[in-house]
Amino acid sequence: MKRSLAPMIVVTLLAGGAAAQTSYTVGSTPSGVPFTFLDVATNKIDGVMVDVIEAVGEAEGFTPEVEATQWSALIPSLTSNKIDIIAAAMYATEERAKVVAFSDTVYSYGEGLFVAASDGGTYKTLEDLKGKTVGVQVGTAYVAPLKATGYFAEVKVYDTIADIMRDVSVGRIDAGFGDRPIVAYQLSKGASDVRLVPEYVSTIVGNVAIAVRKDDPELLAKINSGLAKMKASGKLDEIVKKWGIE
């Protein structure tokens, strides 16, 4: 009995340990206001997607430990096991779905166009920007489609939306593209040297979702379960309204 009991104890402990994971490391960008951003007052990442993953964790019994992760490092960090979850303003695209698993949709939106405040032009479509130099953020779903149009003199790629806004404001480029709710939120906080073009109609609309590794279906099921509960209870709508992106 003594010989058979020890292996049973080890197996039981291992099984219990595997089932007892109550925290996950979450990668979120520090510069995607209002979806994710670094709150300088608390030195913590805050925003829509942080509130969402925290609410999912509360509903499903786990604690998300959010870490600042640059946009370009999100998927590499996930696939290399440095983080367990991506909670950011990330579209669930076909290309990304080849390497990560996406949750059900959290929020849907398209690209916003911004120009210098002194630019009084009317830009309803991409065709209205023919021959201009435009900027777009690296790693976003907008880069390839914008380049594919052939409309622009140049499509310059930047690390952050703030970098694009800077170059638009000083005339280095003619216009910039970014996630419309992020651009609108940032401009609502006082930036006056660029403006969001109200008449522009988004052409690259996508669904924001939470991402996990493809080999982690149990975690994905937890996240989808939590999202379903949030949608049913109105919690997701409450978060969206809190951040002014409804």
* DSSP 8-state class, residue 174: S
pLDDT, tens digit, 9 for 90 and up, residues 79-138? 999 999 999 999 999 999 999 999 999 999 999 999 999 999 999 999 999 999 999 998
**How far apart (Å, rounded) are the C-alpha atoms in residues 185 and 48?**
12
Other beta carbons within 10 angstroms of residue 157's beta carbon come to 15
Distance, CA of 171 to CA of 66 (rounded, Å): 37
Please state whether the predicted TM-score (pTM) of the whole model is above 0.95.
no
pLDDT tens digits along 9-43:
444 444 444 455 799 999 999 988 899 999 999 99
Task: Give the per-residue pLDDT at 32.
Answer: 83
158-180 as b/e, with b when 16 or more CB fall inside 10 Å? bebbebbbbbbbeeebbbbbbbb
- Domains of the chain, start order: 23-107+207-242 (3.40.190.10), 111-196 (3.40.190.10)
- Candidates 194, 226, 201, 200; CA nearest to 212 is 226
**Using alpha carbons only, how large is the chain's radius of gyration in Å?**
21
